């Protein structure tokens, strides 16, 4: 897509995501610097769709309470990001942003902080510990992998059980009694019920 057309599409999408404001995100393609987007102070409640080749993103001083999981994953060219001044609500939904910030501190101009709940208000999002999210469900993207692994393991166990049962049904054994034990009574092999008793046949087994 041509740079001018891409900017026009981005502006249109940003307009639809801006709430209670007539202003638009200001986008500019700077030579040797890439695509920059300034969406600060626009009263945004959510981030608009962004180009994957964006290099700078400024969305400070809006009304963002969280960031959609996976939003920044495809923007591998980001060099500067500003998210401060937003009333982030630090519950389980903020876990993705916290993990992303920990991995990309070098490009964040100012670390955003929690606005709520009161127990973590004014605390930097990156300072939230793993224990804080211990009651949250597994992050999206790992559920499918975990379920797949468990499913494969259960199928393997079921297959082994069925194979063991079939092997047990088809298996036979032969009892050899040497000549010197011919007169020995194998009581343990006799059924306690008369009708189940069978005559014990003996044979000779000689080494060559």
Q: For residue 5, what pLDDT is reported? A: 44
20 pLDDT above the threshold of 70: no
Q: Does domain 3-133 have CATH number 3.40.640.10?
A: no
Question: Helix, strand, coil shares of the chain as percentages rounded to 5?
Answer: 35, 10, 50
What does the pLDDT look like over 32-47, one tens digit per residue?
Answer: 778 899 999 999 998 8
6 pLDDT above the threshold of 90: no
**Spatial separation of the C-alpha atoms in residues 68 and 39, rounded to whole Å:** 17
Helix (H, G, I), strand (E, B) or coil at 101: helix
Under a CB-based contact definition with an 8 Å cutoff, are residues 100 and 124 in contact?
A: no
Cα 167–Cα 173–Cα 177 angle in degrees, nearest 5: 170
- Strands laid side by side in the 34-38 sheet: 26-30, 34-38, 54-58, 80-82
Alpha helix segments (H runs only) across the chain: 3-17, 95-103, 143-170
Under a CB-based contact definition with an 8 Å cutoff, are residues 33 and 53 in contact?
A: no
Q: For residue 10, what pLDDT is reported? A: 47
Average pLDDT, the chain: 77
Domain chopping of the chain, boundaries: 3-133, 143-196
9 pLDDT above the threshold of 50: no
pTM as predicted:
0.57
* Identity of the highest mean pLDDT range in 12-16, 45-49, 59-63: 59-63
């Amino acid at each position: 897509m041509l740079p001018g057309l891409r900017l026009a599409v981005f502006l249109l999408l940003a307009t639809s995501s801006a709430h209670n404001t007539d202003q638009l995100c200001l986008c500019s393609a700077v030579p040797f610097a890439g695509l920059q987007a300034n969406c600060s102070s626009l009263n945004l409640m959510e981030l608009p769709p962004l180009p994957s080749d964006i290099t700078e993103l400024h969305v400070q001083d809006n009304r963002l309470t969280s960031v959609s999981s996976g939003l920044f994953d495809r923007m591998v060219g980001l060099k500067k990001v500003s998210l401060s001044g937003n009333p982030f609500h630090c519950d389980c939904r903020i876990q993705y942003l916290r993990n992303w910030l920990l991995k990309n501190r070098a490009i964040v101009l100012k670390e955003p902080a929690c606005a709520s709940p009161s127990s973590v208000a004014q605390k930097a999002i990156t300072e939230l510990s793993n224990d804080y999210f211990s009651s949250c469900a597994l992050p999206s993207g790992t559920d499918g992998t975990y379920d797949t692994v468990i499913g494969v393991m259960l199928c393997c166990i079921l297959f082994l059980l069925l194979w063991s049962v079939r092997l047990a049904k088809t298996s036979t054994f032969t009892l050899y009694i040497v000549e010197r034990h011919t007169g020995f009574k194998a009581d343990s092999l006799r059924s306690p019920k008369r009708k189940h008793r069978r005559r014990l046949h003996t044979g000779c087994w000689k080494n060559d």
